[in-house]
Structure 1
Amino acid sequence: MATAEGYLRRLTRRLTEDPAQRDVEELSDEAAQTGAQRAIDCQRGQEVTMVGTLRTVEANAKGCASGVRAELFDGTDSVTLVWLGQRRIPGIESGRKLLVRGRLGKLENGSKAVYNPHYEIQH
């Protein structure tokens, strides 16, 4: 009987909770399962490994004269990925899930960034 009640409670929660909040929780849980660091905990100068979803991807973005800039969100914070000297990178597109490695820096506006990160596309 408790199993049926638990199932009904979980189903009701899934139907009534905010889908964006559920996505945030799933991304955060997935990052924890892979052993990746949470973006919110990472500090400038630190070597990082993060898992997240690309929210936006821009080629030749403002402030990035010849490069690709993408926003990676892991459920806790966003980090800008910058590939200098690239016009396009196959597989780097909005909605794609990535595992990235690199040294965390900052953009001119103070937000977190990783320049020329190593990346693996996750499925």
Structure 2
Amino acid sequence: MGKNSLLQRVIHRIATSNADLESEEMQRAVEAESAVPIRACADRQQVRLRGTVANVTVHPRGGHPALEVELRDGSGAARLVWLGRREIAGIEPGRNLAVEGRVSCRRGERVMYNPRYELLDGPRAGG
């Protein structure tokens, strides 16, 4: 590794915000998992996404609960919806998650209903 390369990395880290550095790290994890960046998802595409849970809410849909999760991967966000669920053990803000399913794109928002999921090791909020 050359001195210029090391110097460029140091300058990049100093000149880049923490949020941007976290975004870059998340995008590297997406690439390492052979997942699709959220911003690159096309409507009706079957994909594997990887990211961090930003928030979890329960919204009623047609009188039934629906667990909604915002997943962020550094390139964008997707809303994951599990119909008929109030909670899923282990899915909480800060948790790293991989999901597979068909994505729907409407008005710039990406949504995936009842995806298969995998809880991944890694940082969790408060832990």
- For normalisation by structure 2, the TM-score amounts to 0.81
Q: Unmatched 5+ residue regions in structure 2?
A: 122-127
Q: Report the more deviating stretch, 34-43 or 56-65.
A: 56-65
Aligned counterparts, 1:89-100, within 5 A = 89-100=88-99
- Mapped contact 1:59–1:67 kept (Cα < 8 A): yes
Question: In structure 2, do the counterparts of structure 1 residues 27 and 64 end up closer, same or farther at CA, with 3 Å as the change threshold?
Answer: farther
The CA RMSD over aligned residues, in Å, is: 2.5
Q: Name the SS of the counterpart of 1:14 in structure 2.
A: helix
Indicate how the Cα distance of structure 1 residues 39 and 63 shifts in structure 2: closer, same or farther if over 3 A, else same: farther
Please say if residues 79 and 111 of structure 1, whose CA atoms lie closer than 8 Å, have aligned partners that are also in contact: yes
TM-score, with structure 1 as normaliser: 0.84
Q: Deviations over 1:60-115 (max 9, x none)?
A: 368995111010011111100000000111111001100100011246x6511000
SS of the aligned residue for 2:35 comes to coil
% identity of equivalent residues: 33
Alignment of 1:111 onto 2:109:
yes
Question: Any conservation in 1 of the 2:44–2:105 contact (CA below 8 Å)?
Answer: no
- The answer to whether structure 1 residue 120 and structure 2 residue 118 are counterparts is yes
Q: Which has the higher strand share?
A: 2
- SS of 1:94 mapped into structure 2: coil
- Tell me the number of residue pairs that the alignment of Structure 1 and Structure 2 aligns: 121
